[in-house]
A and B are shown apart, each in its own frame.
Chain A
Amino acid sequence: MGKIQLRQVRKSFGDVHVIPGIDLDIEDGEFVVFVGPSGCGKSTLLRLIAGLEDTTSGVIEIDGNDATHLPPAKRGLAMVFQSYALYPHMTVRKNIAFPLKMAGMSPEEQEKRVERAAKVLNLTNYLDRRPGQLSGGQRQRVAIGRAIVREPAAFLFDEPLSNLDAALRVGMRQEISELHQSLKTTMIYVTHDQVEAMTMADKIVVLNAGNIEQVGSPLTLYHTPKNIFVAGFIGSPRMNLIEGPEAAKHNAHTIGIRPEHIGVGDGPWEGVVGLSEHLGSDSFIKVDVPGLGVINVRAAGELNVHHGDRIKLAPTGKIHRFDDKGLAL
C-alpha cells in the first residue's frame, strides 16, 4: 500500500517560503511526476514526504496514518538520490543489503533478496564490486536495487537520471517504467525534464515557485493546460504565445498555439525563416512573423525551407486562449 496525502503542507527556510501550501493526493500504485523549473521546490517537497525535512505546518498522511512527525525510516518509503548516494566503501552486495541489515533481517534472507534484486536489475555480475568501479548507469541501478529490496510502500526518485548521458537516460527511463509496471508500487518521481514527465507519468504535478499549477494526466496537460505556465512548460518545442491584436481577434489576452499545430504553405501569416533544423523525421523552424514575433513550427517529415525563405503559416489545430491573468478561458 502506498497512498500519500498532503494537507496544506508548508515549508519555509527562515523567511523564505519555499512551499507556501500544498494539497495533493497520491493514489496507491500511481506513478506521479513532480515537474517544474529548477529551484521551484520539487526536491523540498519530496524531502518533506520522505521525512528528511520537517514541515513548517500541515499534515502528511501515508496510508491514512498521520506521518508528519515520523522519522524517515518509519515511513516505509525508499528514496533514490540524484547523486545515487551509494556507500563507497561497501560492495554492491552490501549496499543493496544495507537496509535489510538495518532491519535486522537474517543473512540468508538478505542474500536471497539481494540476488533477486540483482537479477531484476542486471547487476548479478557486479555484486562484488565497489560503486567506484561501476558506470553511471550501473550505479543508478544499484541505488534502485537498494530501494526495491526493502519492498517500500512508495519509491521517491529525485532527478535520478540527470547525471546520465542522453542515450542511457532513455534506457533507464524505460527500465524505471517497466519496474513500475511489474512492482505496481507507488512512485513519486521528480524531474525538471518535461519529456521524462510526459513519458513516464500516470499523473503529472506541475510545480512553479512552490505552488501546484496543475495536476493531471500527461495528455490532459497537453490538451487542456490550465494556464500559460503549464502551456509553456509542457510540450516541446514550447507553445507559441501570442499577445496583442491577433489574440484580441479570439477574445483573449494571449493565445497559444503548439508548434505542431501550425501548417506551412498557405495562410494568414507571412514571415522569414530564421533557424531551421532538419531531423529527417521532423523539421523545426523558427519564423519571424511581423506583428506576432518569432513563431516555432514543427512539421512532420522533411520540409524544404531554409534560412531566409519567405513562407506563409496557418494555425491548423487547437488555439488555446488565456485571460490577462494567464488563466485558460
Chain B
Amino acid sequence: MSTQSTRMAARFMVAPSVIVLFIWMIVPLAMTAYFSFRLYRLLSPDRTGWVGFNNYVWFFNSPDFWLALTNTLLLVGGVLVITVVLGILIALLLDQPVKGQGVLRILVIAPFFVMPPVAASIWENLFMHPQNGLFAAIARGFGAQPILFLENYPMPSVIGIVAWEWLPFATLIFVTALQSLSSEQLEAAEMDGASAFNRFRYIILPHLTRAITVVILIQTIFLLGIFGEIFTTTQGGPGSASTTLPYMIFKQAIVAKDIGRAAAGGIIAVILANIVAYFLMRGIGRHLDA
C-alpha cells in the first residue's frame, strides 16, 4: 500500500465512512453549540432568543460547577488508580497456573457484564445499605456502628462502585498483555539475579506500559461520562456532594428543563474532555507507538 495509485484508492475507499462519521459527530455538536447560546426553557417555550454567553456564565458562577468539575476529575482519577493497581495485581495472580483457571477468569470478568444501574443498585442495597447491607452486618458483627456510605462518603462510594465495574476490563487487558510476555525473559532475569520484585519492576511493568496506556485512555473516555451509578445511588447528593459534570447537565436539562444551560454544560464537558485527552496523549500517548 505505498504506490501513489494504491494510496489514492485507499483514500477514495475510506472517504464514505469518514464523511458519515464526520456528519455523525458534527451535527449533534453543532446543535449543542447552537442551543448553548440560546434561551430555551421547556417550561416557557415561547420566550426564546440569543443570550450570548449567559448560559456559560451561569455555569461558571454556580458554586456547584467547580465542585462538579472536581468530582468528575476525582472520579476519573480515583477509578483509574484503583483499576490499574488492582487490575495488575489480579492479572498477576490470574497468570499463575492454577486449577480451574478458565472458570476463575470468567468469574473475574463477570462484573463487566452487569449494567451500571443494576451494579449500583446491588451495591447500594446489598452492600452499603445501613440496615440490610453486608457491610453494615459486618460492622455490627464487630459491635460497631454501620457506616453510612452514601450519606457520609458519597464520592468514595461512587468511586468504589465504578471501580468495581471497570476492574474486570483492566484485568482482562493486563492478563492478555502478561500472556504475551516471553517466559524466557523472566527466566533470563531470574538467572541475572533479579528478585521477584525486581522482575516485576524491570521486566513485567515495562512490558505492561502499553496495556496500561490503553486502559487509561479507554477508561477515561467512559469515566468522564459516568451518570447511571450516581443517578441510582446518591442522586448527586447529599446536597451536591457527589454531583459530577454529566449529572449537573442532567439536572439542568431534565429537572430544571433549561435546554440552553444544559447545552452550555455539554460544550464545557466536551472542552474538558479535550483538555484531559490532550494531557493524556502528551503524557502517555507515546507508549502507543510500537
Contacts and interface: CB of A to CB of B under 8 A. Distances in A.
Interface of A: 50, 52, 71-73, 77-79, 81-83, 85-87, 89-90, 98-99, 102-103, 146, 150
Of the listed residues A50, A73, A78, the one surrounded by the most CB atoms of chain B closer than 10 A to its CB is: A73
A73 B195 CA distance: 9
B202 A98 contact: yes
B207 interface: yes
Contact of B192 (A52, A71, A83, A99): A99
Interface residues of B, number: 18
A86 B188 CA distance: 8
Nearest to A80: B188
By Cβ-Cβ distance, the 4 closest A-B pairs, closest first, are A99-B192, A85-B188, A85-B184, A73-B193
Contact of B206 (A52, A89, A102, A103): A89
B198 interface: yes
Contacts of A72: 187, 190-191
Contacts of A85: 182, 184-185, 187-188
A97 B182 CA distance: 20
Contact of A79 (B188, B194, B206): B188
B277 interface: no
Q: Chain B: interface secondary structure?
A: helix
Given A73-B190, A99-B193, A83 B207 contact: no
Interface in B177-191: 182, 184-185, 187-191
Given A73-B193, A79-B187, 11 more contacts: A50-B191, A72-B190, A73-B190, A77-B191, A81-B187, A87-B189, A90-B206, A102-B194, A103-B193, A146-B188, A146-B192
B192 A73 contact: yes
A102 B187 contact: no
B191 A73 contact: yes
B99 to A, nearest CB: 14
A81 B184 contact: yes
Nearest to A47: B187
A45 to B, nearest CB: 15
Nearest to B188: A85
Contacts, number: 59
Contacts of B203: 87
A98 B190 CA distance: 11
A79 B191 contact: yes
Contacts of B206: 87, 89-90
11 contacts: A73-B191, A73-B194, A77-B191, A79-B187, A81-B188, A86-B188, A98-B189, A98-B192, A99-B192, A102-B193, A150-B192
Interface string B191-228: 11111001000110011010000000000000000000
Contacts of A77: 191
A52 B182 contact: no
Listed residue (B189, B193, B198, B203) with the most chain A CB atoms within 10 angstroms of its CB: B193
Contacts of B202: 87, 90, 98
Nearest to B198: A102
A103 B187 CA distance: 16
Which of B188, B191, B194 lies at the interface centre, i.e. has the most chain A CB atoms within 10 A of its CB?
Answer: B191
B193 to A, nearest CB: 4
Nearest to A132: B290
B193 A83 contact: no
A146 B189 CA distance: 11
A81 B192 CA distance: 12
A103 B191 CA distance: 11
Which of B187, B192, B206, B209 has the most A CB atoms < 10 Å from its CB?
B192
Interface in B95-142: none
Nearest to A149: B192
Nearest to A53: B187
A73 B193 CA distance: 5
B44 to A, nearest CB: 62
Contacts of B194: 73, 98, 102
A85 B199 CA distance: 14
A78 B193 contact: no
Interface in B252-269: none
A81 B189 CA distance: 12
A52 B186 CA distance: 10
A287 B194 CA distance: 58
A52 B190 contact: yes
Contacts of A83: 182, 184
Contacts of B195: 102
Contacts of A86: 185, 188
A37 to B, nearest CB: 22
A72 B185 CA distance: 14
Contact of B207 (A50, A89, A102): A89
B195 to A, nearest CB: 8
Contacts of B198: 102
Nearest to A75: B191
A141 to B, nearest CB: 15
A85 B181 CA distance: 10
A74 to B, nearest CB: 9
